[in-house]
Amino acid sequence: MTIVKCSECHADVSDKAAACPKCGNKISGAGKHSGKALLWVAGGLAALFVIGAIVQGERPEAKEEHKLRLALELCRKEQNDDLKSISERRLVRGACDRIRDEYIQKYNRNPE
Ligand SMILES: [Zn+2]
């Protein structure tokens, strides 16, 4: 904190104080100003982040990724279906692995 001079009575006042303790004059210290500016920047960033998330949600690649992920999920369920024969499940697993490989190739990360 810094000590500033009151513009009314010239007393030494902390810039964190809302008003001069001597005359009650409002103190507008530099610290308070930057604090407010920071708040604005933070608010702006938060708004940008929300807008970015919305835009990203509507991006076609994001939809594509979601579809691929869903397909893989369904495929894995099918793969673990006990009613299917071993050879059938093996076949399904091969298909699932292909979907996963495609996903990894496209998005560079493992969806599972
Ligand atoms: Zn004062």
Domain assignment of residue 112, yes or no: no
11-20: per-residue pLDDT in tens?
999 888 888 9
| Shared-domain flag, residues 65 and 42 | no
- For residues 44 and 77, membership in a common domain is answered with no
> Per residue in 34-68, pLDDT tens?
566 677 777 888 888 787 777 666 677 778 888 89
Tell me the pLDDT of the chain averaged across its residues. Answer: 84
Q: Which of 26, 38, 23 is nearest to 15 (CA)?
A: 26
Tell me the CA–centroid distance for residue 7 and ligand 1, in Å. 7
* Residue 8 DSSP class: T
Biggest CA–CA distance in the chain, Å, is 92
Range of the domain at 91: 60-107
Same domain, 64 and 48: no
Q: Residues 75, 92: one domain?
A: yes
18 plus 52 within the same structural domain: yes
Burial code (b: 16+ CB inside 10 Å, e: under 16) for 20-33 equals beeeeeebebeeee
Tell me, yes or no, whether 9 lies in a domain.
yes
Are 12 and 31 members of one domain?
Answer: yes
How many whole angstroms from 38 Cα to the centroid of ligand 1? 27
* Residue that the structure tokens 């507008």 belong to: 28
CA of 14 to the centre of ligand 1 (A): 11
Is 8 found in the same domain as 45? yes
Pairing label, strands 3-5, 12-14: antiparallel
Give 18-31 pLDDT, tens digit per residue: 889 999 998 875 44
What global pTM score does this model have?
A: 0.46
Rounded to the nearest angstrom, the distance between the alpha carbon of 21 and the centre of ligand 1 is 7
User: How many whole angstroms from 26 Cα to the centroid of ligand 1?
Assistant: 8
Which of 33, 4, 40, 43 lies closest to 21 in space, CA to CA? 4
Q: Which residue has the higher pLDDT, 71 or 1?
A: 71
Residue 33: pLDDT band by 50, 70, 90 thresholds?
A: low
Of 13, 35, 56, which residue is a domain's last? 56
Same domain, 7 and 43: yes
User: 31 alpha carbon to ligand 1 midpoint, in Å?
Assistant: 18
Q: Per the structure, how many domains does the chain have?
A: 2
